[in-house]
Amino acid sequence: MWRKDFLFGAATASFQIEGASKVDGRLPCIWDTYCATPGRVANGDTGEVACDHYHRYASDFATLSNLGFGAYRFSIAWPRVMDEHGHINPRGVDFYRRLLDTLDELRIQPYATLYHWDLPQHLQDRGGWLNRDTAYRFADYADRMSRLFAGRIRGWMTLNEPYCSAYLGYAEGRHAPGLTNTSYAVEAMHHLLLGHGLAVSALRANDRAPVGLVANVNAVTPASNSAADLNAARLAHANGNLWVLDPLFKGEYPVELEQLWPQAKAPIRVGDMDIIRAPMDFVGINYYFRQVVEADAQRGFKEKPLPNVERTQMGWEVYPDGLRDLLVEFKNRYPELPPIYITENGMASDDRVTEGRVRDEQRMRYLGRHFAAIDEAMKQGVDVRGYFVWSLMDNFEWAYGYEKRFGIVHVDYGTQVRTLKDSALALKEFLAQRD
């Protein structure tokens, strides 16, 4: 089923697991501010402690190694490694040096994401991603990190899910910084992608490691075969998938955005799209669910969830075929599509430790069915090189706080005790069979 060189790893993100939010010179980020705003995050949860990975990374990596994973995708916390003047914070950098040393000792390949949503608050105070200058500050950050860690990172990922940063953060307000203006989202997206393109050049100037970006995608199905619903699906697909990928691989935004948001204009300057479409060595794809949509006179489309389908704790429909179909579509749509890594895939469930065991049968089925979907896509010629399960451990799930558990390792947040779930043990057995 899988090539011997196919990479299997687990993924995490800094704000969701590290904690230590006021330790060793780390500055506040937009998610610290968002968490401190009443009503934003479930139960008033914050990332101040999270999984305390900042102090427990060695034991967490021992677990990762014991499970047999060959790779680890993590994110560097921008506010931990640089101060408000753009200077390096040596104590923050030293944490990631120790992290990389430990991974190296365990022979686990490190894949680093530069931006997993934790923008330094001092940059948000100057406009955040609405300020074009933030793209250049991001490039500076990429330059400094790639100088410091040259030769130590197996793959660089510039942005994680710019759709979520732009749309959920600037149009819907469900993510930091919590703004609610569609025009803001369009501006933020352009500056995020510009920052990506600028960072690609900086990374390549300092390091030979492959460079890519991580995009979240979801399957879209019309609620009926009516012309209105078919158009709604076209708009939803452009919004959720093509808004990021078309600029990267075609050098233009999808025309459907003009129908969705006729008053919102990307602040494009001469040369921007050439920077944005800088060739990448790979693209990361995060996939979780399907949307069924119908026409909506105001928004262009809206969800019409199907009854009697399998869903996760998030309420997301389990639809593995959507991953296969999207991978094949992207291969056909983008002639310049580089190799693909599935950089996130997994599900949340209401996991409990009972007699020392976590029985997460649904997650085991979920992962197996998505493995099969990836295999089918590869048989249709899609170049998929690796897979990272989301997530190594339960963690801070953004606006949901600690209510949703995506990990293959259970975390008791009161005691910080880790417990391998049945899915982790099943993956360990699967990975051992490949050796």
Q: Is 160 annotated as a binding residue?
A: yes
Question: Annotated catalytic residue: which of 18, 256, 317, 344?
Answer: 344
Which residues, in sequence order, are bridge partners of residue 159? Answer: 115
- Is 397 annotated as belonging to a binding site? yes
Q: In the annotation, is 403 catalytic? A: no
* Interaxial angle between packed helices 422-434 and 53-67, expressed in degrees from 0 to 180 and rounded to the nearest 10: 50
Q: What is the distance, to the nearest Å, from the Cα of residue 220 to the centroid of all Cα atoms in its chain?
A: 19
Q: The tokens of 202 are what?
A: 């900086």
The rounded distance, in Å, linking the Cα atoms of 85 and 65 is 38
CA angle 310, 312, 315 (to 5 degrees): 95
> Does 16 belong to an annotated binding site?
yes
Query: What residues contact 49, with CB distance under 8 A and at least 6 apart?
Result: 19, 413
Contact predicate 383/340, CB 8 Å: yes
Identify whether the C-beta of residue 386 lies closer than 8 Å to the C-beta of residue 402: no
Could you give the angle at the alpha carbon of 151 between the alpha carbons of 149 and 157, nearest 5°?
Answer: 65
Annotated active-site residue 161? The verdict is yes
The verdict on whether residue 316 carries a ligand-binding annotation is: no
For residues 239 and 261, give the distance between their C-alpha atoms in angstroms, rounded to a whole number.
10
Task: Give the CA distances from residue 112 to residues 49, 199, 347, 400, in Å, rounded to whole numbers and listed in that order.
Answer: 22, 13, 22, 25
Q: Choosing from 161, 187, 256, 317, which is the catalytic residue?
A: 161
Instruction: Tell me which residue has tokens 């706080």.
Output: 401
Contacts of 315 (CB under 8 A, 6+ apart): none
Pairing of strands 300-303, 282-296: antiparallel
81: phi then psi, degrees, rounded to nearest 5: -105, -10
398 labelled as ligand-binding? yes
Residue 84 annotated in ligand binding: no
Instruction: Give the span between the Cα atoms of 36 and 28, in whole angstroms.
Output: 11
Confirm or deny that 294 is annotated as ligand binding: no
| Residue list, annotated binding site for substrate | 16, 116, 160, 288, 390, 397-398
- Residue numbers in the known binding site are 16, 116, 160, 288, 390, 397-398
Catalytic residues: 161, 344
